[in-house]
Structure 1
Amino acid sequence: MRALLSACILAVSTLVAGCGTIIRSDVTSFHEWPDTLPDKSYVFERTKEQNDSLEYRNYENLVRNELNRLGFSEAPSGTRPALKAALSYSINGRDVREVYPVVVHPYPYWYGPAWRGHYWPHHPFYSPFYDPFWYGPPIVEQRVSQYQLFNRQLRVSLARMADNKKLFETTVVSEGTNPSLATVMPYMVRSAFAEFPGQNGVPRRIELKME
């Protein structure tokens, strides 16, 4: 019996370990992307605060990797790129209080059918102790759950350097209980460039499994 219990615990633990967290992001992109773009060089346009932020530079590297994957190239220092990229981000938390019903049996577990049947061996078809309402109907109690929910946002844009005309801008919104923006940001950046440039003005949901 102990060996069987240990095997069950191991199986459940393996199942839980294999179930990764899913990051769900709502993505909306707007673009006027040209049919051809011979020069795909770019440079990041930063604010003073961003230029002094190590956190920003970490997220910028994530965007850089995605742009490079799509065939863009960061312009060398001293040259004039065709495009400029910009990004901004934010995270806000709020308290959530949920009230939900829970069915509670009015009798202890040891009053269950297995215990009762032991004392009624001559009544295989019916015993009053088997009546689920013998000790009264189930009771519905209200339980309260309180937690924090975080709204995480990322905005990325690409514009022409010559006339500042925006060619692409996308907004990624993700909600969850994880308060670490740094943990979730890699998946939000990947979602921002999924199916680039994407359908114009059509919201879509991107789901990525955390590694």
Structure 2
Amino acid sequence: MMEWINRWFGPMRSLFLLVGALALAGCASTLSARVTTFEQWPSGVEGQTWQFAPGEGNGLEVQAYQDMVRAAIGATGLVEAQNAPGRFVVALDYGSESQPRTVRQAVPDPFFYGGFYGPRYWGWGYGPWGYGPDWVPVEVIAQRNHLTVSIRDRSHADQEVYRSTAVIWSQDEALASVMPYMVSAVFDGFPGNNGQVRTIEYREPR
């Protein structure tokens, strides 16, 4: 009897573990950006000039992030000022901090690893089909990467006319690698989405 069980469950267990691993790999290839935007964007400003706020810094990291923002703003129809102050002033605020966060984590089903009962997301006992990975809430220390872009209009008493913040969580310090996604998220649908909080999904290249 035990020999028959081992013969049947051995390959099945390997199959379920493979499916679970592929599912986890698929999830890991997607980035979610949480974006909050507020705007009172003036009309008819195509071709108007802009500049970065003084004091943004001139280090290599700052320059790299500014280049990303510069490319995104160029697609809006604004033109970077060269020899005179721009009408719009663009300020960046970004960073990455370690914070506790509750995530769902896959755990092996005791059906295969000894014991038939244990805590589940849906109660006690087997999973919904009696096999496969279960998902339980686990508190981890994660990195909260964030970028805020603020744009002020000099011609209207330096009034803020656009503010958008993107947040992406990562497992480790990855500010430089997620910055392109945050810049894209901040300018997604520019200059619309006033007062909205949205989630934008990005596919990471393999």
State the TM-score, normalizing by the size of structure 2.
0.69
Aligned-residue CA RMSD (Å): 3.5
User: Per the alignment, in what secondary structure is the counterpart of residue 199 of structure 1?
Assistant: coil
Deviations 1:175-194 (A, max 9, x none): 22142100000001000000
1:82/1:106 CA distance change after superposition, 3 Å: closer
Partner of 2:169: 175
1:148 to 126, 131, 141: 141
Instruction: Identify which of structures 1 and 2 has the higher relative contact order when contacts are C-alpha pairs closer than 8 Å and 6+ apart.
Output: 1
5+ residue gaps, structure 1, are 1-7, 109-136
> How do 1:90-101 residues align onto structure 2 when only pairs under 5 Å count?
90-95=95-100
Distance in 2 between residues matched to 1:140 and 1:15, nearest whole Å: 23
User: Per the alignment, in what secondary structure is the counterpart of residue 31 of structure 2?
Assistant: strand
> How do 1:25-174 residues align onto structure 2 when only pairs under 5 Å count?
25-47=33-55, 50-76=56-82, 78-95=83-100, 103-105=109-111, 138-140=116-118, 147-162=140-155, 163-174=157-168
1:19/1:39 CA distance change after superposition, 3 Å: same
What percentage of aligned pairs have identical amino acids? 26
Q: CA deviation at 1:152?
A: 1.1
- What number of residue pairs does the alignment pair up? 171
1:19/1:144 CA distance change after superposition, 3 Å: closer
Would you say the 8 A contact 2:45–2:78 is kept in 1? no
Would you say the 8 A contact 1:44–1:84 is kept in 2? yes
Residues 144-153 or 163-172, more deviating: 144-153
State the TM-score, normalizing by the size of structure 1.
0.67
Distance in 2 between residues matched to 1:106 and 1:31, nearest whole Å: 54
User: Per the alignment, in what secondary structure is the counterpart of residue 196 of structure 1?
Assistant: coil
Q: CA deviation at 1:25?
A: 0.9
Distance in 2 between residues matched to 1:147 and 1:65, nearest whole Å: 35
AA aligned to 1:51 is G
Would you say the 8 A contact 1:103–1:140 is kept in 2? no
Distance in 2 between residues matched to 1:38 and 1:17, nearest whole Å: 43
User: Per the alignment, in what secondary structure is the counterpart of residue 45 of structure 2?
Assistant: coil
Deviations 1:22-64 (A, max 9, x none): 11111111111122215421110142xx414321111111000
- Rg larger for: 1
AA aligned to 1:195 is G
User: Per the alignment, in what secondary structure is the counterpart of residue 118 of structure 2?
Assistant: strand
Q: CA deviation at 1:98?
A: 7.2
AA aligned to 1:180 is A
Would you say the 8 A contact 2:50–2:80 is kept in 1? yes
1:192 to 182, 186, 190: 186
Q: CA deviation at 1:97?
A: 7.3
User: Per the alignment, in what secondary structure is the counterpart of residue 73 of structure 2?
Assistant: helix
User: Per the alignment, in what secondary structure is the counterpart of residue 185 of structure 1?
Assistant: helix
Q: CA deviation at 1:14?
A: 10
